[in-house]
A and B are shown apart, each in its own frame.
Chain A
Amino acid sequence: MMRALWTAASGMKAQQLNVDTIANNLANVNTTAYKKQRVEFKDLLYEQLNNKSISEGEGRPVNLEVGHGVMPMATLRSFTKGNPEQTNNDLDFAIDGDGFFVVRDMNDNLFYTKDGSFKLSVEDNEARLVTSDGYFVQCDAGDIELGENVKEITVSPNGVINVKREGEEESEEIGQMTLVRFANPAGLESIGQNLYRETIASGEAFEAYEGEAGSIKQGFLEASNVSVVEEMVKMITAQRAYEINSKSIQTADQMLEQANNLRR
Chain B
Amino acid sequence: MSFTLTTPSGFWNPLLWLLFLALFGIIAYLIYSRGNPSYKKDTEQIKPYLSGNPEPTKEKVQVKAGDIYWGFIEALKGYYKVLQAIHTGDMRDYILWYLGIGAIITFILIGGV
Determine if chain A interacts with chain B.
no
Chain B residues in the interface with A (C-beta under 8 A): none
